[in-house]
């Protein structure tokens, strides 16, 4: 079992003056939700997600050795323009990961980043964004230490991404990713995400996720605050146990391909997440009236057609509509006919299962 100390490097065999890398990293959608954490971004319960394919962040990292090596130094560009308001989060990230990448203060970085999904669509870019940055930093470490194994590279990339944003550790590698210790899931760890190691039924091949953009406004309560409210939450302990139980159920469902059971677990997880928000103190609601309209329309459609389509939710009002590829034509027609009217400006994004971060340059 690896510990966090195993990711603190010793001496590097190479030196490197300057250069650049570029990676894309996708977003992911959790099926069993991460909600609640301990110190150092250790999750209160394990989670599992589908990696997405189309919603991603593309980040170029340019680096050059600098003279003064006592502070972090970086410029941040978003879609080619300086973006000051992202900088504090990046600085905090660099501070958290410095122990694992002791060379960070030796360089000046230019971080040039963009998303493939519309700006302010309400899609969290922290998972894809932190994962893409972590991949680039690992490319630099690999240049300093070419002996590094591929397994170490990806594990450490996920560990670093986790320190940027918990869910980001599930955006590194693999189609189905587990984060958090779980008996029966070999290799699972609180420190980083791992590719789901067990059998996955063909029913989940190219699984589809159509993201209905219900509300693009700023969230009233950030995920960070929401996680924190789980500390004094009256139902927290039972909820954390339930996440283990649901992950166990999904483990069996991935093997059997039982979509009815899949739907039960996934929709229950989504509603439980929001129930935790509603039963926090202070309490809050991130769903909007149209979120509920969509959920009810999906239930009605599913019961009338027996098509195995379901929903899940993130920490926001948008709805992720999940379904197998072989029903995509019918479900897309249903979305166009009956759900688009509940989306802000009729907007939705078609995505599907993907396999993780990609090195572009
Ligand atoms: C509801 O990963 O955004 O999407 O670790 O504080 O950055 P931080 O939180 P974040 O929380 C995501 C919560 C969620 C569920 C999930 O993705 O598992």
Q: Mean of the pLDDT values across residues 135-145? A: 98
CB 8 within 8 A of CB 99: yes
Cα distance between residue 277 and residue 314, in whole Å: 12
CA–CA dist 255, 36 (Å, integer) = 28
Write down the pLDDT at residue 125. Answer: 79
User: Lowest-pLDDT range, 4-13, 123-132, 338-347?
Assistant: 123-132
User: pLDDT tens across 30-49, in order?
Assistant: 999 999 999 999 999 999 99
Alpha-carbon distance 121 to 172, whole Å?
22
Instruction: Provide the residue range defining the domain that includes 25.
Output: 1-361
Q: Containing H/E element for 21?
A: strand 18-32
Task: Tell whether ligand 1 has an atom less than 6 A from the beta carbon of residue 177.
Answer: no
Residue 105: predicted pLDDT: 98
* Mean pLDDT value of segment 309-314: 98
Q: Is 50 in the pocket of ligand 1 (CB under 6 A)?
A: no
Dist. CA 304–CA 219, nearest whole Å: 34
Q: Is 126 in the pocket of ligand 1 (CB under 6 A)?
A: yes
Is 70 exceeded by the pLDDT of residue 124? no
Instruction: Judge if pTM exceeds 0.95.
Output: yes
Mean pLDDT of 258-264: 98
d(CA 348, CA 224): 26
Mean pLDDT taken over the chain: 96
Rounded mean pLDDT, 264-282: 98
What are the tens digits of pLDDT across the range 64-115? 999 999 999 999 999 999 999 899 999 999 999 999 999 999 999 999 999 9
Kindly write down the DSSP assignment for every residue of 191-235, as one continuous string. Answer: SSEEE--S---GGGTT-EEEEE----SPPSS-HHHHHHTTTT-TT
Closest CA to 21 of 148, 81, 110, 117: 110
Is 223 close to ligand 1, i.e. is its CB under 6 Å away?
Answer: yes
Is any ligand 1 atom within 6 A of the Cβ of residue 274? no
pLDDT given for residue 238 in this prediction? 98
Helix (H) or strand (E) holding 242: helix 236-256
Å from CA of 30 to ligand 1 middle: 9
**Ligand 1 atom at shortest distance from the alpha carbon of 227:** 6
Here the CATH number for the domain that contains residue 65 is 3.30.230.10
Confidence of residue 122 (pLDDT cuts 50, 70, 90): low
User: Is there a contact between 243 and 46 (Cβ–Cβ < 8 Å)?
Assistant: yes
Residue 175: pLDDT above 90?
A: yes
Q: Are strands 42-43 and 47-65 parallel, antiparallel or unpaired?
A: unpaired
Nearest atom in ligand 1 to 130's CA: 7
Number of domains in the chain: 1
Our answer on whether the CB atom of 276 is closer than 6 Å to any ligand 1 atom is no
Asked whether 142 lines ligand 1 (CB < 6 A), one says: no
User: Is pLDDT above 80 for 119?
Assistant: no
The predicted structure's pLDDT at residue 1: 78
Q: Tokens 């009815």 sit at which residue?
A: 260
């Amino acid at each position: 079992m690896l510990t966090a100390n195993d990711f603190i490097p010793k001496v590097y065999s190479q030196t490197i003056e300057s250069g650049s890398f570029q990676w894309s990293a996708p977003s992911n959608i959790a099926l069993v939700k991460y909600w609640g954490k301990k110190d150092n971004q250790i999750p209160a319960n394990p989670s599992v997600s589908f990696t997405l394919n189309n919603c991603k962040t593309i980040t170029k990292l340019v680096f050059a050795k600098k003279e003064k090596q006592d502070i972090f130094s970086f410029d941040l560009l978003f879609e080619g323009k300086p973006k000051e308001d992202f900088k504090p989060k990046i600085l905090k990230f660099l501070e958290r990961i410095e122990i694992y990448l002791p060379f960070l203060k030796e360089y000046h970085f230019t971080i040039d980043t963009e998303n493939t999904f519309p700006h302010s669509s309400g899609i969290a870019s922290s998972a894809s964004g932190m994962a893409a940055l972590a991949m680039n930093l690992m490319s630099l470490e690999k240049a300093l230490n070419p002996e590094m194994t591929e397994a170490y590279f990806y594990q450490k990339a996920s560990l670093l991404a986790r320190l940027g944003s918990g869910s980001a550790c599930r955006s590194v590698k693999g189609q189905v990713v587990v984060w958090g210790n779980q008996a029966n899931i070999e290799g699972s760890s609180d420190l980083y995400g791992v590719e789901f190691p067990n059998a996955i039924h063909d029913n989940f091949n190219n699984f589809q996720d159509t993201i209905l953009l219900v509300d693009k406004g700023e969230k009233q309560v950030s995920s960070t605050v929401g996680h924190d409210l789980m500390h004094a939450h009256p139902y927290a302990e039972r909820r954390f146990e339930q996440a283990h139980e649901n992950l166990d159920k999904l483990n069996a469902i991935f093997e059997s391909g039982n979509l009815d059971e899949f739907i039960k677990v996934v929709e229950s997880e989504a509603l439980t997440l929001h129930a935790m928000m509603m039963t926090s103190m202070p309490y809050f609601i991130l769903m909007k009236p149209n979120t509920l309209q969509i959920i009810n329309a999906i239930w009605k459609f599913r019961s009338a057609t027996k098509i195995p389509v379901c929903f899940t939710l993130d920490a926001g009002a948008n709805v992720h509509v999940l379904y197998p590829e072989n029903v995509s034509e019918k479900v897309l027609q249903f979305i166009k006919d009956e759900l688009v009217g509940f989306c802000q400006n009729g907007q939705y994004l078609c995505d599907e299962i993907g396999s993780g971060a990609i090195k572009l340059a």
